[in-house]
């Protein structure tokens, strides 16, 4: 275990092993660390109703205590890294310890890195969105869980960083504004690290005893080794009857007890709430999965039409949100 992860372990006495069937070290992490490492947030705060009116003075004080600047690239220094799985790493970035990052649920940040120069000699950049996985109320740091792809320009850049290096960040970029009990039943379809925004919403619901929303999650991965936060999710499902989870993998192992293959119409019909005005289906995953399940977003990055499996199952644009 790295020093970084040992510091996580000292944060709480609740420990259990990170899910891994690979040859890599079986890290022992606290409940809160597992939540962070796997794309969730253990201690979330609720953003008040959009109609809540802060006083001008309160807004000024709040803005001074926020590290992010919506219209400006801000440098954040890499504090530490840790390998979570065979292709996934955890990155912790630090900033003023009196400030919060400034995230709502569900929102993400934009990151950018230099990518040489254009024909005119001006700097070029690669820009990618990521969802921080640390507690929004944490001060002085935020964590990113990033899957490193062989051809991924930004993920390879992250993998090359050393403690003390900086990354430029802008945000937050609000996605779905979640409010308690906004729907009776929320269905979720996630692939790989697409679990990140789902966990934000899941934990926001489960943390609030007044939120009676039912949650059904279909979580698809290449193999059992690729499932992030399985133990965390299993514990949440066991302790909260309003959370149901179905796992499926493309390449099941001999002892795998979940589903096998892609998410189909039959799986959706059996595992998610049916089409209804009180139903919302959230989808997040790699482009191929999004195209097959819900259809891609429109060219202007609006939600676009619903197609694929969800359309076949009877869901409309009003019932589906694509992260």
pLDDT tens digit at each of 323 positions of the chain = 555 555 543 433 232 233 333 333 333 344 334 434 443 333 332 333 344 344 444 445 456 799 999 999 999 999 999 987 888 898 999 999 999 999 888 899 999 999 888 888 899 999 999 988 887 778 999 999 899 999 999 999 999 999 999 999 999 999 999 999 999 999 999 999 899 889 889 988 999 999 999 999 999 999 999 998 788 899 999 999 999 999 999 999 999 999 999 999 999 999 999 999 999 999 999 999 999 999 999 999 899 999 999 999 999 999 999 99
197 is in an annotated binding site: no
Predicted TM-score (pTM) of this structure: 0.75
209 is in an annotated binding site: no
- CB count within 10 Å of CB 206 equals 18
Task: Give the model's pLDDT for residue 56.
Answer: 46
Task: Give the model's pLDDT for residue 30.
Answer: 41
Cα separation, 140 vs 32, in Å, equals 17
Q: Are 74 and 109 in contact (CB under 8 A)?
A: no
C-alpha 305, offset from chain centre: 23
* 255-273 pLDDT per residue, tens: 999 999 999 999 999 999 9
85 is in an annotated binding site: no
User: Strand 123-130 vs strand 107-117: parallel, antiparallel, or unpaired?
Assistant: antiparallel
Helices 195-207 & 230-239, crossing angle to 10 degrees?
30
Fold of 185-322: Rossmann fold (3.40.50)
- CB count within 10 Å of CB 274 equals 13
The CA-CA-CA angle for residues 100, 10, 8, to 5°, reads 50
147 is in an annotated binding site: yes
Nearest one of 156, 163, 169 to 130, comparing CA atoms? 169
- CB count within 10 Å of CB 149 equals 12
- CB count within 10 Å of CB 54 equals 11
Task: Give the model's pLDDT for residue 309.
Answer: 98
Domain boundaries, the chain: 65-174, 185-322
Fold of 65-174: Elongation Factor Tu (Ef-tu); domain 3 (2.40.30)
128 is in an annotated binding site: yes
CA trace torsion 263, 268, 273, 275 (10° rounding): 120
Tokens coding 73: 């690239």
154 is in an annotated binding site: yes
Task: Give the model's pLDDT for residue 21.
Answer: 32
262 is in an annotated binding site: no
Instruction: Order the strands of the 107-117 sheet from edge to edge.
Output: 123-130, 107-117, 166-174, 74-85, 88-94, 141-147
């Amino acid at each position: 275990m790295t020093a970084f992860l040992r510091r996580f372990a000292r944060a709480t006495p609740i420990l259990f092993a990170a899910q891994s069937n690979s040859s890599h070290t079986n890290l022992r992490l606290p409940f809160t660390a597992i939540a962070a490492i796997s794309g969730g947030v253990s201690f979330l705060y609720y953003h008040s109703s959009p109609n809540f009116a802060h006083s001008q003075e309160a807004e000024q004080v709040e803005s001074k205590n926020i590290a992010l600047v919506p219209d400006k690239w801000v440098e954040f220094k890499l504090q530490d890294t840790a390998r979570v799985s065979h292709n996934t790493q955890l990155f912790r970035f630090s900033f003023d310890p009196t400030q919060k990052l400034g995230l709502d649920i569900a929102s993400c940040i934009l990151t950018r890195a230099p990518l040489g120069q254009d024909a005119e000699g001006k700097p070029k950049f690669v820009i990618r969105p990521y969802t921080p996985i640390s507690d929004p109320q944490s001060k002085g740091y935020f964590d990113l869980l990033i899957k490193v792809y062989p051809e991924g320009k930004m993920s390879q850049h992250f993998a090359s960083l050393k403690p003390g290096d900086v990354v430029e960040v802008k945000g937050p970029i609000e996605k779905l504004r979640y409010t308690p009990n906004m729907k009776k039943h929320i269905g979720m379809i996630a692939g790989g690290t697409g679990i990140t925004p789902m966990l934000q919403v899941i934990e926001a619901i489960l943390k609030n005893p007044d939120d009676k929303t039912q949650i059904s999650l279909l979580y698809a991965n290449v193999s059992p080794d690729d499932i992030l936060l399985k133990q965390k999710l299993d514990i949440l499902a066991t302790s909260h009857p309003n959370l149901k989870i179905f796992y499926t993998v493309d390449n099941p192992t001999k002892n795998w007890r979940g589903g096998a293959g892609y998410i189909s119409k039959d799986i959706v019909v059996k595992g998610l709430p049916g089409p209804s005005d009180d139903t919302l289906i959230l989808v997040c995953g790699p482009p191929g999965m999004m195209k097959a399940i819900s259809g891609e977003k429109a060219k202007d990055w609006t939600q676009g039409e619903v197609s694929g499996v969800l359309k076949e199952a009877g869901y409309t644009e009003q019932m589906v949100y694509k992260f």
